Amino acid sequence: MAYFEKLNYTLSNEDTRVEYALLPPGAKRVFAIAGSGARVLPLIARNPEELEIVDLSRAQLDLCELRVAAARALSYPEFLFFLGYRGGIAAPAEVETDVSDDRMALFQRLELSPSCREFWLSCAAQWQPRGFILLGKWESHFQALGKLFRQGFRMNFRPIFEAQSLEEQQALYRKHWKPTLFRNFLRMAASELVFNKFLYHGHFSGASAVKTESRPPWKFLDDEFRRLFTTKLVRKNYFLQVLFLGGIHFEEGLPLEARPEIVEAVRASRTRLVTTQGNLLEVLPTKPFDFLSLSDTISYLPEDAATELLQKLHPATPAGSRAVIRSFLRAPTQLRQDGWELDTQECRKAFERDGTGVYRFFIYRKTAG
Ligand SMILES: C[S@@+](CC[C@H](N)C(=O)[O-])C[C@H]1O[C@@H](n2cnc3c(N)ncnc32)[C@H](O)[C@@H]1O
């Protein structure tokens, strides 16, 4: 699919606390769509015996390889700086004159395959100044939209993010949020036309011809953002910080991959990594996986392939295996479930845990071995 050929995602709009909570430590064989790689690091932190990382896009796999290598080779402060979560590395107390830090010097310490090294060297001018996490097409698009809104409509979300309790945040939300303005902006920015023209090149899963969500995208987003801003402390949410502030300004909102305990666990993990560039439909049937982290890829599959997905998994897939599927506006409502059940309790828990608000979860459990 043409849309997935370039570096589209560099941070992840997926709150990986969901998968992390569901994957038991030491699982045998895990399947993960690479995407930005930010969902993959917490899976490695769970130390499965084998992790198969798959993506159609070479660039996304190169980003995933880079993330893993950085977590393994760099100290925690170096890792945050290298990826772009921080703008510098705090100097030791004894240092008198501090200088700017050097991402290229950190890059040179990473153990990478030759093709991955070559890819990142070929675009060093892009990542050296600010790191990687906001480079993707998706992240750039939403940063630009957010900036347009903040400047064009003079809307400042910062005071809401500064709240340190939910009560304070709710009061600041009532004071600073401009609901009509925001809704009108969403009608334009979250229209099918804009999504397709600037991001998905005709493959937007929320297009009216394919979506299962009854609300139009702008209404869905308006409802979900209101829910998040009135029920969760947004300074702890990296996704909302990127959309509404243009970057991650409050470290208590760092995504799971950037938490010290996860980086530490990735470093300690002994997981065997297998990387495959290809279509998940071809890789999934090749081996029995006991955990599948499928991102929202099912929304982009042709109807018949999506329907048969669970049935095409390897016949030796053990009972109790789980498949975690996200969907944005186009839910996998037609999956044939023979031998599997939808774990509605876990779906609800995932929805409540998820900080993005944009996904619905479909978590399946294999019932027969
Ligand atoms: C569906 S996108 C969503 C991105 C994601 N939300 C993130 O934060 O990284 C995830 C990744 O799936 C890959 N992908 C989409 N369809 C695929 C398929 N049929 N087989 C393998 N990879 C696929 C894309 O290249 C992309 O990198």
DSSP letters, 148-165, are HHHHHTT---HHHHH-SS
User: Domain spans of the chain?
Assistant: 2-89+102-132+258-366, 137-253
**Could you tell me which of 73, 34, 38 has the C-alpha nearest to residue 51?**
34
* β-strand pairing of 360-366 with 340-342: antiparallel
Which residue carries 């009532």 as its tokens? 174
Q: In the prediction, which pLDDT does 227 show?
A: 96
Alpha carbon of 9 to ligand 1 centroid (Å): 9
Give pLDDT tens digits for 81-139. Answer: 999 999 999 888 887 777 889 999 999 999 999 999 999 999 999 999 999 999 999 89
Q: CATH 3.40.30.10: does it fit domain 2-89+102-132+258-366?
A: no
Nearest protein CA to atom 25 of ligand 1, as residue: 4
- How long, in residues, is the chain? 369
Q: If you measure from the C-alpha of residue 139 to the centroid of ligand 1, how many angstroms do you get, rounded to a whole number?
A: 15
CA of 54 to the centre of ligand 1 (A): 9
Substitution candidate for ligand 1 out of 5, 7, 9, 133 with most atoms within 8 A of CB: 9
Please give the number of the atom of ligand 1 that sits closest to the Cα of 301.
19
Is residue 36 within 8 Å of 15, Cβ to Cβ?
Answer: no
Closest Cα to atom 10 of ligand 1: 35
Contacts by 116-120, CB closer than 8 A, 24 or more apart: 116/62, 116/65, 116/66, 119/58, 119/59, 119/62, 120/62, 120/66
Q: In what order do the strands lie in the sheet with 360-366?
A: 272-277, 50-55, 29-33, 291-293, 322-327, 360-366, 340-342
pTM, entire model: 0.93
Position in ligand 1 atom list of the atom nearest CA 278 = 21
Task: For residue 275, report the distance from its CA to the centre of ligand 1, in Å.
Answer: 14
- Residue whose CA lies nearest to ligand 1 atom number 16: 297
d(Cα 28, Cα 47) in Å, to the nearest integer?
A: 9
Atom 15 (ligand 1): residue with closest C-alpha? 297
Can you give the pLDDT of all 369 residues of the chain as single tens digits?
A: 444 457 899 997 899 999 999 999 989 999 999 999 999 999 999 999 999 999 999 999 999 999 999 999 999 999 999 999 999 998 888 877 778 899 999 999 999 999 999 999 999 999 999 999 999 998 988 888 888 888 888 889 999 999 999 999 999 999 999 999 999 888 888 777 777 777 777 777 777 777 787 888 899 999 999 999 999 999 999 999 999 999 999 999 999 999 999 999 999 999 999 999 999 999 999 999 999 999 999 988 998 999 999 999 999 999 999 999 999 988 887 899 999 999 999 999 999 999 999 899 999 999 987
Residue entry with tokens 């910062």: 158
Residues with Cβ within 6 A of ligand 1? 4, 9, 12-14, 33-36, 54-57, 60, 279-280, 295-297, 300
Q: Could you tell which of 4, 40, 133 is best to mutate to test the pocket of ligand 1, judged by most ligand atoms within 8 Å of the CB?
A: 4
The atom number, within ligand 1, closest to the CA of 37 reads 9
Alpha carbon of 339 to ligand 1 centroid (Å): 26
pLDDT at residue number 3? 47
Residue 254, CA atoms < 13 Å, CB-side half-sphere: 18
Question: Would you state the structure tokens that stand for residue 112, as one six-digit string?
Answer: 């990478």
Looking at residue 197, its pLDDT comes to 74
pLDDT in tens, 286-303: 999 999 999 999 988 998
